[in-house]
Amino acid sequence: MPPTRTVRSPVARYTRARARLRAGARRVRVSALPIVQCAAAAGLAWWVAGDLVGHTRPFFAPIAAVISLGVSLGSRLRRVAELVLGVSLGVLVGDLLIARIGSGPWQIAAVVALAMTAAVFADGATLLVAQAASSAVLVATLLPPGQAGGFDRCVDALIGGLLGLAVAAALPADPVGPVRRQARALLDELSAVLAGGADALRGRDPAVALAALHRARASQPVIDELRSALRAGREVTSVSPLRRRRRRVLGKFAELAERSDYAMRNTRVLIRRIYTLLTDLAERTADPAADDATGARLDGLADTLGQLTCAVERFTAELGREGDRSCVREPLLHVLRHAGDGSGDPDTSEVVAAAQLRSIVLDLLQATGLSRADALAAMRATRP
């Protein structure tokens, strides 16, 4: 039988089309400033290199301007240096060889191979190697054999790269917005993992704990994206005088990123302990009185995790509206007041989980701006 085709109604097709249009418009809004930066830098680079400096066909200038900016932020200063060096290597190799061996398939292959070899030997950065190869190809295909101008093309690349940086400084992106969004995403992941651990304890379900553990282990890309956003934000504040005053805010987010990373690592250990505890509980056959005592302790740990989840969610909300992070400290300390003191057999998973929970609270207290000494002092004050 031929496969059946799903026939969508006109209303469903219209709804799907509207959703795609809204998603496309949202992507354009997010990338509007980088697009304007690239367009302005490309036009300025062509005008400066062609009309002001007087170079003929300065195609390397707008190319360098666009590459130095890109559609995303991050490492622009290094990118410009790699770009200029890559163009210089490609042009040098292309001018030296094409003028003597002519242009053709095997000549282009030889020029690209030599240019890439020189770039790998010099630095090995991806942009440098790629730009050296593409510059060599442009020289080999667009310029007649024996034509000079290699130095002019290196100057064009430098003009484009510097104008890209100038446009980024004059039309700077928000250095804090992407960092805040990534920080909230990381805290959202942390609260979701903690909530999963609490649900596993209440339901005595190792599978739920294992799913939370997998989610915690898969959180590293979120942490990496936060650090990348921080690097891009620092670069914006270093290039643009208009954004320099935001350095202090970025410093606070840098501390938050570091401590949230530690908190997520400790949460992975905590969830792994919960998974071990629930697995052992499901496999062993103990007397009813012991099971009742264990169940009470598990319910208490689940309630504590639930309180910690609410505290992390409060933290996320404060980040969203540039709130006062210090107001999160009391909910975090409240978690410790209602948690166990970690006393008992140090080899039991319950005691280890309680100790790990204190480590998570310590990390989050430091993420609010407290020093380690002040955070420890506040934690000690919660003990009876």
- Domain residues for 358? 177-380
Is 9 within a domain? no
* Same domain for 326 and 182: yes
* Same domain for 164 and 234: no
Question: In angstroms, rounded to a whole number, what is the distance separating the alpha carbons of residues 329 and 352?
Answer: 23
- Of residues 170 and 209, more confidence is placed in 209
Is 5 within a domain? no
Question: Is the CB of residue 159 less than 8 Å from the CB of residue 49?
Answer: yes
For the segment 345-359, the average pLDDT, to the nearest whole number, is 71
The total of structural domains in the chain comes to: 2
Question: Is the CB of residue 296 less than 8 Å from the CB of residue 305?
Answer: no
Can you give the pLDDT at residue 189? Answer: 95
* Same domain for 136 and 186: no
- pLDDT over threshold 60, residue 78: yes
- pLDDT over threshold 60, residue 3: no
Most confident of 8-22, 166-180, 278-292, 354-368: 354-368
Can you give the pLDDT at residue 79? Answer: 66
Is 207 within a domain? yes
Is 133 within a domain? yes
For the segment 22-38, the average pLDDT, to the nearest whole number, is 80
* Same domain for 201 and 75: no
Is 199 within a domain? yes
Most confident of 69-78, 115-124, 198-207, 311-320: 198-207
Is 3 within a domain? no
- pLDDT over threshold 70, residue 217: yes
* Same domain for 77 and 125: yes
- pLDDT over threshold 80, residue 140: no
Is 6 within a domain? no
* Same domain for 181 and 166: no
* Same domain for 163 and 191: no
Q: Rg (Cα) of the chain, in Å, rounded?
A: 29
Reduce the DSSP state of residue 205 to 3 states and report it: coil
- pLDDT over threshold 90, residue 362: yes
Question: In angstroms, rounded to a whole number, what is the distance separating the alpha carbons of residues 369 and 259?
Answer: 10
Can you give the pLDDT at residue 280? Answer: 82
* Same domain for 103 and 215: no
Average pLDDT, the chain: 79
The answer, as to whether pTM is greater than 0.85, is: no
Question: In angstroms, rounded to a whole number, what is the distance separating the alpha carbons of residues 357 and 346?
Answer: 14
Can you give the pLDDT at residue 1? Answer: 47
For the segment 235-239, the average pLDDT, to the nearest whole number, is 78
Question: In angstroms, rounded to a whole number, what is the distance separating the alpha carbons of residues 372 and 325?
Answer: 16
Question: Which of 170, 191, 218 is a domain's end point?
Answer: 170
Most confident of 114-128, 157-171, 237-251, 253-267: 253-267
Question: Which of 152, 170, 188 is a domain's end point?
Answer: 170
The single-letter DSSP state of residue 327 is: G
Question: Which of 139, 170, 201 is a domain's end point?
Answer: 170
* Same domain for 287 and 196: yes
* Same domain for 155 and 112: yes
* Same domain for 93 and 57: yes
Can you give the pLDDT at residue 306? Answer: 92
Is 343 within a domain? yes
- pLDDT over threshold 50, residue 248: yes
* Same domain for 249 and 134: no
* pLDDT tens profile 257-301: 999 999 999 999 999 989 988 888 877 655 444 466 677 778 888
